[in-house]
Amino acid sequence: MKRLRLAILFSVLACCACTIAHAQKRKPELPMDTITSEVIVQDLLYRHPPDTEGRSEEEVFGGVEPQPEYPGGTHAMYKFISANLRMPAKARKAGVSGRVFTSFKVEVTGEITNVTVLKGLGFGCDEEAVRLVKSMPKWKPGKQNGQFVKGRYTLPIFFEPK
Higher pLDDT, 21 or 156: 156
* C-beta of residue 156 within 8 angstroms of C-beta of residue 44: yes
The Cα 43–Cα 96 span in angstroms is: 24
Query: Given a cut of 60, is residue 25 above it in pLDDT?
Result: no
Q: Which residues contact 86 (CB under 8 A, 6 or more apart)?
A: 128
Is the pTM of the predicted complex or chain greater than 0.75? no
- Cα angle vertex 12, ends 7, 16, to 5°? 145
Domains of the chain: 46-51+59-159 (3.30.2420.10)
Q: pLDDT tens digits for 61-96?
A: 556 678 889 999 999 999 999 999 999 999 999 999
* C-beta of residue 136 within 8 angstroms of C-beta of residue 76: no
In this structure, the number of other CB atoms found within 10 A of the CB of residue 113 comes to 11
- Count each helix (H run) and each strand (E run) in the chain, helices first: 4, 6
Query: Given a cut of 50, is residue 51 above it in pLDDT?
Result: no
